[in-house]
Structure 1
């Protein structure tokens, strides 16, 4: 068998997903649960975007970041944004700041359609309440060519990560994910069987842009 020499490989254009787990999130999550259900009580219709409102999914307005009630979670989001700015070498006269933020309650049977977030650099989700089987978030390969004409792989063998065409994250209460706003993503239907509103999947989502430092 001849050895192949002088072969090198370089990977370009990565799709980055950041994960951050808050330490001891239970107290904060309890506060957020109360706030979010109060928001729904005050605005029962909410808005319709990627959520399945016709099945009972509720989506708040997108200005939660302007309320002092959400300052604690906003502080954590900006902390992660600062880390990303430093790691990726973003301009130091700008900072990553939340420009829209909202909450979603997905009762059993509800999910979120595949979508992107125009007009932002980064988007993210913070998991407030995540009963078992409440719906994974799925990211899909943004490279259309590979979705249209996929190569064949060895059967019953896990593909290298660089060859995946989708990836799923199980929701975990107290966990935050950041991902590029152009990355297509959706949420599986909530199949939780817990009693009452304990079966609801409750999240806070947000968009982030660079803003000039004051």
Structure 2
């Protein structure tokens, strides 16, 4: 008897490998949160525990040179992931569509969601205090499993219904935008800072 794994779901795990640059990102993200009154107001009105620039600023790479440098560095990660996914891009490159800063206070979370109209989504982690919450990925087939039993606790990662990624400061995580994911509650006593983004074709 033989079995094969079909229809793989890729998760890219990279790193910025530059603590000084990550520290600059930390300072830049905090400064944006202080200056962006509209973003703070939107976060409060929508129950986001902390700050996000998601609905307020769409020019971060032009507004902050550090974010601009981050976008430049992300290019090689996104290109490597697209190649690993065997995307036929016809000689074109994936293009940055949106990018936003997240500062999640203790107790903050982000419920399950996908990123429509994009090809690749991801997050760069800037400050990750211990216990500040993993990124939880959901098996995209889950809704079609109907009467299937749950998986054993010792199931290999590629057979689990949920997989938890535990980033550290400087981590770069990329996935295909249709993959449902959620941010687990921040159980730390400090803020968790990240920069999320979408790339389109």
TM class, shorter-length: 0.7 to 0.9
Native 8 Å contact 2:151 2:160 kept in 1: no
Alignment of 1:204 onto 2:198: no
Q: What SS does the aligned partner of 2:47 have?
A: helix
Seen in structure 2, the aligned counterparts of structure 1 residues 55 and 72 have a Cα distance that, compared at 3 Å, is: closer
Runs of 5+ consecutive residues of structure 1 not aligned to the other structure: 1-6, 194-198
Distance 1:56 1:120 in 2: 26
Computing the radius of gyration from Cα coordinates, the structure with the larger value is 1
Which of 71, 74, 77 is equivalent to 1:74? Answer: 71
Could you list the runs of 4 or more consecutive aligned residues of structure 1 that deviate by over 6 angstroms after TM superposition? none
Q: What SS does the aligned partner of 2:81 have?
A: helix
Seen in structure 2, the aligned counterparts of structure 1 residues 90 and 37 have a Cα distance that, compared at 3 Å, is: same
Counterpart of 2:16 in structure 1 is 22
Seen in structure 2, the aligned counterparts of structure 1 residues 55 and 81 have a Cα distance that, compared at 3 Å, is: closer
Q: What SS does the aligned partner of 1:95 have?
A: coil
Native 8 Å contact 2:138 2:163 kept in 1: yes
Cα root mean square deviation, aligned: 2.2
TM-score (norm 1): 0.82
The CA deviation at 1:170 is: 1.2
TM-score (norm 2): 0.86
Distance 1:32 1:127 in 2: 10
Seen in structure 2, the aligned counterparts of structure 1 residues 160 and 76 have a Cα distance that, compared at 3 Å, is: same
Distance 1:182 1:153 in 2: 23
Which of 130, 133, 137 is equivalent to 2:131? Answer: 133
Q: What SS does the aligned partner of 1:32 have?
A: helix
Aligned residues, how many? 194
- Report Cα offsets for 1:81-109 as digits up to 9, x if no partner: 22123332533421022110001000111
Runs of 5+ consecutive residues of structure 2 not aligned to the other structure: none
Seen in structure 2, the aligned counterparts of structure 1 residues 64 and 55 have a Cα distance that, compared at 3 Å, is: closer
Distance 2:151 2:121 in 1: 32
Report 1:14-53 matches (<5 A): 14-23=8-17, 25-46=18-39, 53=46
Between 1:83-92 and 1:169-178, the stretch displaced more is 83-92
